[in-house]
Chains A and B, each alone.
Chain A
Amino acid sequence: MKVGIVRFPGSNCDEDAWLAIAEQLHEQAVMLWHKDHDLQGSDAVILPGGFAYGDYLRAGAIARFSPIMREVAAHAERGGIVIGICNGFQIACEAHLLPGALLRNDVGYRSMPVTIRVERTDSPFTTSASAGQCLTMPIAHGEGRYTASEADLDRLEDAGQVIFRYVDSAGNPTPNANPNGSMRNIAGVCNAARNVVGLMPHPERAMEPLLGSSDGRVLFESLLATVNA
């Protein structure tokens, strides 16, 4: 598997994503500069966390017009896998690769471990997980409140596009388990074609016990299994 990790000015989880692929999975990872027009033959693309372009205007609003995003959109259009993590999720929403929007948290910036429940295993980031599996990993964001119209949310739920939900330790999506005010506790979604997945929590920061959790591994192992399938 070859994974391209887009480096925008202001990305700061690009190295973590690289380490997750190269050091933890022992797969090939390449950095893709935002001004490039070449995905270098990547099987999958990761839009990493950070503050691309300083989050000016709105998080992800400027980054989506980076030159490489044209190639990323074409890759997604062809059915290629794109994973957006945190700021990458925001960029994917702004680029209309994913539905909805991520607004300012209801209670300000949150940096903490959260528990998310895997709602669907038919996405390239969850095939190796089990439905209902609860994973603990960190969040670190000020703008992660997933928002869409009620009608759109109903459509997403019906189509099985809600991939992750914030839950409490018992696995229930309670208001207290929701760290940012996301509608219906949504932590991650996929597009209608199911090849683009975005989530606010950071699986790449939960790859080994030293980091406090290795629950992120199953998501990257899913990616590997999907690419090799």
Chain B
Amino acid sequence: MKFRVSVQVLPRKGILDPQGKTVTDALRTLGFAHVDEVHVGRHLVIDMRADSAGAAEADVRSMCAKLLANPVTEDFVIAAVDAA
């Protein structure tokens, strides 16, 4: 079966995120004073084959651990596993 898996990789909470802070400041300058915090990370969309949605998700978790996220500084969230 074919799946499209979306993964969000974000700086770990508590680690300085200069990109996020710069974007936050820019939004506030533009008048969006109600913005508390912006986090800038990566969004990856993986088109793949797997036997089931669960297998696809497990596979992507393994990809994140090995390559897609840095275990020292980043967290990842599997945002969606859609049958394609």
Contacts and interface: CB of A to CB of B under 8 A. Distances in A.
Interface of A: 57-58, 61, 65, 93-94, 100-101, 103-108, 145, 147-149, 181
B26 to A, nearest CB: 14
13 contacts: A61-B67, A61-B70, A93-B72, A94-B70, A103-B16, A104-B18, A104-B19, A105-B18, A106-B18, A148-B72, A149-B72, A181-B16, A181-B18
A101 B12 CA distance: 12
Interface residues of B, number: 11
Contacts of A58: 70
Contacts of A107: 18
Contacts of A145: 16
Nearest to A180: B18
Q: Is the interface of B mostly helix, strand, loop or mixed?
A: mixed
Contacts of B33: none
Contacts of B67: 57, 61, 65
Nearest to A148: B72
A145 B42 CA distance: 19
A181 B17 CA distance: 11
Contacts of A94: 70
Contacts of B16: 103, 106, 145, 181
A90 to B, nearest CB: 11
A22 B68 CA distance: 38
Contact of B15 (A61, A65, A103, A105): A103
